[in-house]
Amino acid sequence: MAFDTTVIQSNVAAKYSILSLINQQNYESVKQSGSATILGYFEGGFDEFKQKRSQLESLLFASGSFSLDQGFYRHALSSVGAQAYAECIARQGNKPIAAWIANKSADGIIAVTVKSGVTGNATVVYTVDGSAKPMNQPAPLSAGSSQTLLFARDPSKAFLIAVNAINQATQATDSAVIELPRMRNFEVASEEKIISTSLMCAAGCQGNTAGCRIMEPGKIVAPTGYAIDRNTLREVGRRTRFGPGSKNIYINWVDAFGSDGGIQSIDGQIQSCEGNSPHTQGATELTFEARAIRKFVREVVK
């Protein structure tokens, strides 16, 4: 009997469930066949792939949604296999009824095929109960005949129906239950925070604009779960703290990275400065800011 690997959801958690199956031994073969379907993960070697996969994993952990990758892919019967299986069970057990999902369309229409499993001249009548009503009416089924019922599915709710049948010849009853969980959709969202720091440099005394130098460093630190966007680092303010102030302030910025590859902090060290007067020490304070970004997985309710 043929089985299909069926995609239950297409979202971040489902993507991770695929990527988690890839190792160093099968990476190259998957790269050749899978790079077109999961873009951005197969552009380099295996080490680069592991880093990108780790970043996706950290999103799921941070959102508390890591378990969401479970059950998004399943080893399932194809529609042809489901039909053969249902018919086999009905035939072997002389069951009055068998039912299976024959098709699911993109516009939310579900086709359920109901088939009589009795033999001879017996007729089966049946009703359908549950969360959805068929768009066409159930009709009596002669031995071996079938009918396809159409249902309009609300993807935000679970789909559950029970087909209840009776063999009019023997009064034997039977039921078949079909259930689909509600569809859940997820997306990667982000939020930002502005983080700032101040640095100061004072200089100027004894006839030397670089004399009596005092330097205070600054540091921008991302909150837990955030990473700093280095391109957003900029000066936003400058003021004289005391005396005539200072000038020609040169700063060296050093990035510190976290285990996920994101920038966790930027350390600003003043390399040099000059006072505005060679006789009176002056200090100028500079304020810098950068944007810290947190990415996380959230469920989209439609």
Averaging pLDDT over each range in 18-22, 98-102, 162-166, 241-245, which range is the top one? 241-245
What's the pLDDT tens digit per position in 42-84? 777 888 888 877 776 666 555 444 444 333 333 344 556 556 6
E-state strands within 29-145: 73-77, 97-104, 109-116, 123-130, 141-142
Which tokens go with 167?
């063999």
CATH number given to 78-180: 2.60.40
What is the separation of C-alpha 71 from the centre of its chain, rounded to a whole number of angstroms?
Answer: 14
What's the pLDDT tens digit per position in 84-102? 655 565 555 556 788 888 8
For the chain, the average pLDDT equals 80
Q: Residues 6 or more apart from 257 whose CB is under 8 A from it?
A: 263, 264
What's the whole-number mean pLDDT along residues 228-254?
Answer: 96
Query: In this model, does residue 292 exceed pLDDT 60?
Result: yes
Give yes or no for a contact between 254 and 269, defined as CB atoms under 8 angstroms apart. yes
Tell me the C-alpha distance between 138 and 150, whole Å.
10
Residue 50 is given by DSSP the state: H
Looking at residue 88, its pLDDT comes to 63
What's the pLDDT tens digit per position in 113-169? 998 888 788 899 999 998 889 999 999 999 889 999 999 988 778 888 899 999 888
Q: Which residue, chain included where needed, has tokens 């970004």?
A: 293
Query: In this model, does residue 231 exceed pLDDT 90?
Result: yes
What's the whole-number mean pLDDT along residues 194-220?
Answer: 96
Tell me the C-alpha distance between 102 and 111, whole Å.
5
Tell me the C-alpha distance between 289 and 285, whole Å.
14
Give the chain's count of helices (H) and strands (E). 4, 16
Query: In this model, does residue 35 exceed pLDDT 60?
Result: no
Looking at residue 89, its pLDDT comes to 57
What is the separation of C-alpha 118 from the centre of its chain, rounded to a whole number of angstroms?
Answer: 47
Looking at residue 86, its pLDDT comes to 59
Comparing C-alpha atoms, which of 269, 212, 274 is closest to residue 246? 274
Looking at residue 64, its pLDDT comes to 47
**Which range among 2-6, 171-175, 184-188, 189-193 shows the weakest confidence by mean pLDDT?**
2-6
| Proportion of the chain above pLDDT 70, given as a percent | 76
DSSP secondary structure letters along 149-216: EEEE--TTS-EEEEEEEEETTT--EEEEEEEEPPP-EEEEEEEEEEEEEEEEEEE-BTTBTTSS-EEE
DSSP secondary structure letters along 69-85: GTTSEEEEE-HHHHHHH
What's the whole-number mean pLDDT along residues 265-289?
Answer: 96
Instruction: Provide the pLDDT confidence category of residue 230 given band limits of 50, 70 and 90.
Output: very high
If DSSP codes are grouped into helix, strand and coil, which group holds residue 254? Answer: strand
